[in-house]
Amino acid sequence: MFDTLRPKVLAIINSEADTTERLQRICDLLRENIGHYDWVGFYFKNGDKPELKLGPYAGEPTDHTIIPFGKGICGQVAKSNQNFVVPDVKAQDNYIACSFTVKAEIVVPLFVNGENVGQIDIDSNTADPFTEADERFLEFVNAEVAKIL
């Protein structure tokens, strides 16, 4: 599945659309083609503030448009610079619930010139669905996205 999506991601990255539109198309592509990706979005560092701001996403609307560094899974990744895979969100003390249907989450940081500028965030309504293959694929997506930021 990921092997068939890689060229599609590259085609979006290399398209003539503006950056926001390309990011939106990537969110839509992943959500529509990966069964356990129920919400797909990008968060980016909000200027010089120690917080993340929601960018393009696909899925149910969220109230979490601003996330302080350190809060929730996304906020922790903003500080740790490490992938964070959460097989069961109920087992996480520092989890910010977006929807009662979400059972698992994966967040992968996005680096431009070695600086953590944002992340891709995936929520799943399936318990423990994420594998190392998801991590490698999302790292690939972010490496390609970094080229257009």
What is the per-residue pLDDT for 95? 76
pTM equals 0.96
What is the per-residue pLDDT across 15-44, written as a single tens digit (0 to 9) for each? 999 999 999 999 999 999 999 999 999 999
Q: Would you list the DSSP string of 10-69?
A: HHHHTSSS-HHHHHHHHHHHHHHH-TT--EEEEEEE-TTSSEEEEEEEESS--S-SEEET
Q: Cα 101–139–106 angle (5° rounding)?
A: 20
What is the per-residue pLDDT for 97? 66
Domains of the chain: 2-146 (3.30.450.40)
What is the per-residue pLDDT across 111-147, written as a single tens digit (0 to 9) for each? 999 999 999 999 999 999 999 999 999 999 999 999 9
pLDDT at residue 14 tops 80: yes
Percent of the chain past pLDDT 90, that is, above it, reads 91
